[in-house]
Structure 1
Amino acid sequence: MGLFGRKKAALPRREVIWGHCYEDDLLDAADAELGEGKLNAAVTVLVDSRDNAESRCLRLSTLGHRLVGSADEIAELAAQHRDPELMLLAGDAYIGEAWAIRGSGWASSVGEDRAKLFRATLEKARRPLFAAADMLPGDPTPWAQLLAVGMGLGQDRSEQDAVWAETVKRGPTLFPAHWTRLQVVAQKWYGSQEEMSQFAVETVNNAPQGDPVTAMIVVAYFETYIQAKVIAQEEYKNPDLRAVAEGMFEKNFQPIEAASNRWMKDERPHPRAFEAHNYFAAACGLAGEKDRAFMHLFGMRDRMSGRPWSTFADDPEEAYQDMVQRYWRPDLAQGF
């Protein structure tokens, strides 16, 4: 409420940028050319990022998405030219094709025929990714992709652990690799609640100051919330799921705050910064921590990722706009 009982004036709606949680002009140009069927720029920007694994992985995932449906063709070109970047693009495209076949539902909802085709398509990704790893032995990018392949194929944990070891040997703080590894050690895949929590805590403790990989603690809490939501839906007819989320993040805010501090006290430019801000903004907003929620909402620059918003809201954009109304500070955000 404002003075004399008047309601606080509503803030203008933010213009949300969906599915573009990065600022990379070269990637945008390569993505546009790839949309026209031109591969050269995609290969060039991947070559240019060989010394920056974070940018390389981000560029690969964006460009590989464009090639879903063309993986066989790209794999053939890669084999002809013995080109590691084409190998990576083929591997990522196969992964995308496999998950398009499987869908995003629980494993129990996937029919046997679809599951077989999913695994067969994922299996195709292994050859070009291992070839890329052989050609560029210091590159963590193919190993990060192989983490996702192993998770989908249900490889023995010892095999998945070995791929993880190869990945972090080359990229100790690689953001997307840590995200995938957290899924592997989660209860819903091949680990447990305890293992996932321990992994998240260790990731924060081992993260260099200024690295957004500390967001893994928030990723873990949202995975915990997903499990809590399922239990609440089984036990109650119409559970207040927003209250479940708010209660969980209020209770666990201290480690989230510590992880935010470890990153933000020496924040440096990073390809995954917007993605990390999404996680922290949602968590801090649910916890009712207005100052920190604003800090991370501002850091998002209105660039929204599907997760974590879709885990607790039927309409992710409305959830974001609601947090803007609650926590935005026009006095601190002048000019933006």
Structure 2
Amino acid sequence: MGLFGKKKAPLPRREVVWGHCYDDDLLDAAEAELLEGKLNAAVTVLVDSRDNAESRSLRLSRLGHRLVGSADEIAELAARHRDPELMLLAGDAYIGEAWAIRGGGWASSVGEDRAKMFLTTLEKARGPLMTAAEMLPDDATPWAQMLTMGMGLGLDRSEQDAIWAETVKRAPTLYPAHWTRLQVVAEKWYGSHAEMSDFALYTVQNAPEGDPVTAILVVAYFEVLIQAKVRRGSNPLAMGREMFKKVNSQLTIASNRWMFEERPHPRKFEAHNYFAAALSLAGNADLAFVHLFGMNDMLSSRPWDIYADDPEEEYQRMVQKYWPRELTR
């Protein structure tokens, strides 16, 4: 309420950018050319990021997604030219095709025929990814992709652990690899809530200052919320508020470890989305604003869609609640 009980005037709605939580002009250009059927730029931007696993992994995930449905063709081209970037693109495209076949539901909801097709398609990713790893032995990217492949194939835990070890040996804080590893050690796959929590806390404690990989702690708590939502069928918004208020001190430590000396990072907008949602639910006004501001209006569906029917409206609501009236940006 304002002076004499008058309500504060609402802030203007933010103009949201959907599904583009990164700032990479070269990737945008390569993606545009790929949509026109031109592969050269996609290969070039992957080559240019060989010394930056974070950018390379992000670029691969975006470009490989555009090649879903063409994986066999890319794999043949990769074999013909013995090109490691094409091998990566083929592997990622196979992974995308496999998960498109499987769908996003629980394993119990996937029919037998679809499950077999999923596994057959996913297995096709192994050859190109292993070849890419052999051709560029210092590259963490094919190993990070094999984490996703192995999880879907149901490789035993020792195999998963071995792939993880190879990944972090090459890129100790690789954000997407930590995200996948969190899924592996979660209860719904190979581990438990306790193991997932331990992994997330260990990640925060050992993260270099300025690295958004600390957001993995927030991802872990949202995984707990997903499980609770499925099992209890109760209000995820109320559960989220209760849970995140209890762990506000942990969220603060994780946020501060990143933001104290924030460095340029291709996943920063994605990480800001997670922190903004969690700290808003926790009622931590100061840090909620820091991360809402840090999002730069780049909105991802996760984690907002875990507890809100309309992620954009939830984001706008949090802006109204936590954005200072004197700041117009």
Establish whether TM, by shorter chain, passes 0.5. yes
Superposition map of 1:1-336 within 5 A: 1-233=1-233, 239-331=234-326, 333-334=327-328, 336=329
1:151, distance to aligned residue in structure 2 (A): 0.3
**In 2, Cα distance between equivalents of 1:114 and 1:328:** 47
1:232, distance to aligned residue in structure 2 (A): 2.4
Q: Give the paired residue count.
A: 329
CA contact (8 A) 2:229 2:235 kept: no
**In 1, Cα distance between equivalents of 2:61 and 2:301:** 15
TM normalised by structure 2 equals 0.99
**In 1, Cα distance between equivalents of 2:232 and 2:116:** 32
1:242, distance to aligned residue in structure 2 (A): 1.1
Percentage identity across paired residues of the two chains: 75
Secondary structure at the residue paired with 2:74? helix
CA contact (8 A) 2:236 2:306 kept: no
CA deviation vs aligned residue, 1:214-237 (integer Å, no higher than 9, x gap) = 00000000001111212321xxxx
Q: Aligned partner of 1:325: which letter?
A: Q
Secondary structure at the residue paired with 1:14? coil
Q: Aligned partner of 1:272: which letter?
A: R
User: Runs of 4 or more off by more than 4 Å in structure 1?
Assistant: none
Q: Aligned partner of 1:163: which letter?
A: I
1:212, distance to aligned residue in structure 2 (A): 0.2
What runs of 5+ residues in structure 1 fail to find an aligned partner?
Answer: 234-238
1:273, distance to aligned residue in structure 2 (A): 0.3
**In 2, Cα distance between equivalents of 1:53 and 1:241:** 35
Q: Aligned partner of 2:324: which letter?
A: R
TM normalised by structure 1 equals 0.97
How much is the aligned-residue C-alpha RMSD, in angstroms?
0.8
**In 2, Cα distance between equivalents of 1:140 and 1:153:** 20
**In 2, Cα distance between equivalents of 1:231 and 1:69:** 35
**In 2, Cα distance between equivalents of 1:158 and 1:304:** 36
1:12, distance to aligned residue in structure 2 (A): 1.2
What runs of 5+ residues in structure 2 fail to find an aligned partner?
Answer: none
